[in-house]
Amino acid sequence: MILNCVVAVDGNWGIGLNGNLLFRNKDDLRYFRQLTQGHTVITGRKTLATFPKGEPLKNRRNIVLSRTKDGDQITHKTDDDTSLVYCASVEETFKILKETEGKGECTAFVIGGGEIYRQFLPFCRLAYVTKFSASTIADTFFENLDENPDWKIQTQFKFDSQITFCVYKNTINS
């Protein structure tokens, strides 16, 4: 099982304000969709609520961490390619990922929010980071991987004057 994360950050590694994303950019959303479609995504309950209509992302297995589910694993199948599984802990999430690995699924993406990133980042192999050059007001931040010696930039592509797509590699967990 390969665990990666996908995040969009501002110039100060900010990712959110008042429970909302800082940026909604069609090119970044297209990149996100290309990376995650057909895979498992891991998110928090509050982040799920920000998705269109609060519904799971289509064509993905959605694992949602929520302490409000009292540790019971609840699975909702919405169609053939989309499902929603609630987990109460990181450990339970890894258990589900291991079970999925045996069925052929081998890549999962952590997609937020801030606390979910903090819990899973040490286990991620790659971090797909969209950097927006603007610095905005934020109350939620992603770890600055440029300052973390365990993470090295593997590739970067300057899309335009505002966006750079970067891939960081975890040198400890690779």
- Distance (Å, rounded) from C-alpha 102 to C-alpha 1? 9
Report in angstroms the alpha-carbon separations of 44 from 28, 38, 47, 87, 148: 20, 19, 5, 10, 24
Q: What is the DSSP annotation of 50-88?
A: HSGGGPPPTTSEEEEE-GGGTT--EEEEEETTEEEEEES
Q: Contact 163/132 with Cβ under 8 angstroms?
A: yes
Task: Locate the domains of the chain by residue range.
Answer: 2-7+36-170
Contacts of 171 (CB under 8 A, 6+ apart): 149, 150, 151, 152
For 89-110, how does the pLDDT look when each residue is reduced to its tens digit (9 = 90+)?
999 999 999 887 666 668 999 9
For the structural domain made of 2-7+36-170, what CATH number should be given? Answer: 3.40.430.10
Per-residue pLDDT, 43: 97
Per-residue pLDDT, 67: 81
| Averaged pLDDT, 119-130 | 98
Per-residue pLDDT, 68: 74
For 135-170, how does the pLDDT look when each residue is reduced to its tens digit (9 = 90+)?
899 999 999 999 999 999 999 999 999 999 999 999
For 107-121, how does the pLDDT look when each residue is reduced to its tens digit (9 = 90+)?
999 999 999 999 999
Tell me what percent of the residues of the chain surpass a pLDDT of 90: 79
Residue reference for tokens 């081998």: 106
Checking if the pLDDT of 21 tops 60, the result is yes
Q: Contact 56/62 with Cβ under 8 angstroms?
A: yes
Per-residue pLDDT, 69: 56
